Amino acid sequence: MINEFEKLCINRKSIRKFSDKLIEDNKIIQILNSVNSAPSAGNLQAYEVIVVKSKDVIVKLYEAALHQNFIAQAPVVLVFVAKTQESSEQYGKRGEQLYSIQDATIACTYAMLACEALDISSTWVGAFEDKKIKEILDCKKGEIPIALLPIGYTLSNKISFIHRKDLDEMSREL
């Protein structure tokens, strides 16, 4: 029997059309609390979440992300930044090149699922110009933007079926 978490995962779909409705502050806090519970290497949480609500900054992010229209429509964009230096202080190269990136990636995944649980739509955005995003967000040395997550309410229907690999293609048993 399908459980609640499996249902949540299966129901989540990327949505690229947002309504004008703003996201309540308490929902943003709930999303951040979920992110804050995510695992991270050595519990360092070598990432930062930048909650962008300023329309001006959102438009700049949209420009730096290949002018993907839905980004400019979103009332909020969460930006996940890996703190590579913080992780490298503890774990050297592996922290810099792997753990901090994974920490930020897992954080974004938690945010996506938290949004789904709150009926808030999102789409992971990875196509952007790193340099421009760093400038917009005033990132320090060793801080690398990993993902943008435009979030918002939507009126559009979800595409109900998106092809996925069969389990035996996606996984194997030993």
Ligand X SMILES: Cc1cc2nc3c(=O)[nH]c(=O)nc-3n(C[C@H](O)[C@H](O)[C@H](O)COP(=O)(O)O)c2cc1C
Q: How far is the CB of 174 from ligand X (least distance, A)?
A: 27
Nearer to ligand X, 50 or 74 (CB): 74
Smallest distance from ligand X to CB 8, Å? 13
> At its nearest, how many Å lie between ligand X and the CB of residue 108?
8
| Burial label, 47 (beta-carbon count in 10 A; 0-12, 13-18, 19+) | buried
Query: 88 or 121, CB closer to ligand X?
Result: 121
- Helices then strands (H, E): number in the chain? 8, 4
Alpha-carbon torsion 117, 112, 14, 10, what sign? Answer: negative
**By C-beta, is 88 or 123 nearer to ligand X?**
123
Q: Smaller CB distance to ligand X: residue 5 or 92?
A: 5
Q: Which of 158, 156, 154, 149 is nearest to 20 (CA)?
A: 154
Binding site for ligand X (CB under 6 A): 13-14, 16, 68, 123-127, 162
Least Å distance, CB 109 to ligand X, is: 9
- Provide the b/e sequence for 112-121 (b: ≥16 CB within 10 Å): bbbbbbbebb
